[in-house]
Amino acid sequence: MLSWYMIVTVDTNVIFSALYSSKGASHQILRLVLAEKIKLALSPQVYFEYYDVLVRAENLVKLNLTIEEVENILDLLALLAQKHSIYFLLRPNLVDEKDNMIAECAFASKSKYLITSNVRDFKSGELKGFEFQIITPGEFYKLWESKYE
């Protein structure tokens, strides 16, 4: 493992995409997390959001995974993640309430990037002036390749 690491917060849609297809930037980001080249920021709220979305019956079918396999993947991510307990509500009034908890995790963890396929959703509301950059999986992976690979 590297002696330093970049902390990132990853939206649920990126985790879903990473498990759905082994092609694409989302899967490469998951591989970076598993290889401990980047550190995933995780709060209990974000963990359970991942779980809630991934174990929905229709998503298990799309992902071709069982609940046990999803739980194993999430357990591994939790093991590798930098964990954060959030004792405050940072409400930037984003359209989707669940995006607020992703933003809270990025803020609490001092993430360098909040990686999401729905950048527009995070650019709305009052989410301004924070240290993290909101970026798509494709943009993040291109940046990673150009600087670190």
Residue 45: in which H helix or E strand, if any?
helix 44-54
Inside any domain, residue 15: yes
Q: How many domains does the chain have?
A: 1
Inside any domain, residue 11: yes
d(CA 125, CA 74): 30
Inside any domain, residue 106: yes
Residue 58, SS3 per DSSP:
helix
The predicted pLDDT at position 1 comes to: 41
Strands 113-115, 133-135: pairing kind:
parallel
The predicted pLDDT at position 128 comes to: 60
Inside any domain, residue 1: no
Could you state, in chain order, the average pLDDT of each consecutive group of 10 residues for the chain (149 residues)? 73 97 96 95 95 98 97 97 78 66 88 89 64 91 88
pTM: 0.89
d(CA 89, CA 138): 30
The predicted pLDDT at position 4 comes to: 57
The predicted pLDDT at position 144 comes to: 92
The predicted pLDDT at position 62 comes to: 97
The predicted pLDDT at position 27 comes to: 97
**Domain that residue 55 falls in:** 6-148
**What's the CATH number where 115 sits?**
3.40.50.1010
The predicted pLDDT at position 104 comes to: 86
